[in-house]
Amino acid sequence: MEPFFPKLHPNPGWHEACQSDEKEILPTISSENIGRHCILELYQCDHAKLNDEAFIRTTITSSAKIAGATLINLITHSFNPQGVTGLALLAESHISIHTWPEIGYAAIDVFTCGDHTMPEKACQLLSKDFLAKHFSFKNIAREIPTEIQTLHREPISK
């Protein structure tokens, strides 16, 4: 199943040209990137892992760590007769996993804000941990609309 993702940049969101000593004009970007939302669907996964709440807690924790995110809270729920839902609250946003062991399927969202996180690495780990034979992956840039980029941001007073 290799390669899973394009080569990961060590500083996501940074243009290659920004690291160069050469002065290069970059194209004007109409909006500012505020984060990325990775949507991962895993197929033909290990059925036992999809139904193992403790395993899912461990793999969510590991995926948050490898993404460079800060785990604030983790909640999971096991359904009867099967399936698990897990939600990790991150300082940078969230990771959610929903499993259907009876069909070998997991639906996963990894949403992170900031340029220090690497949600693609989390997705890579999750795909590997669930032993997925097939997958679908979408990486969506979350952007601030141009119209509000110049607004001054201050905390709301109480």
Catalytic residue among 113, 136, 152, 157: 113
Determine the longest span between alpha carbons in the chain, in angstroms: 60
Catalytic residue among 45, 93, 123, 127: 93
Q: What is the 3-class SS of 25-90, one letter each residue?
A: CCCCCCCEEEEEEEEEEEECCCHHHHCCHHHHHHHHHHHHHHCCCCEEEEEEEECCCCCEEEEEEE
Indicate if 113 belongs to the active site: yes
Phi, psi of 33 (to 5 degrees): -75, 125
Indicate if 62 belongs to the active site: no
61: its two tokens = 């924790």
Indicate if 98 belongs to the active site: yes
H or E segment to which residue 126 belongs: helix 119-129
Dihedral of CA atoms 157, 145, 73, 71 in degrees, nearest 10, equals -110
Catalytic residue among 98, 123, 136, 157: 98
Active site residues: 93, 98, 113
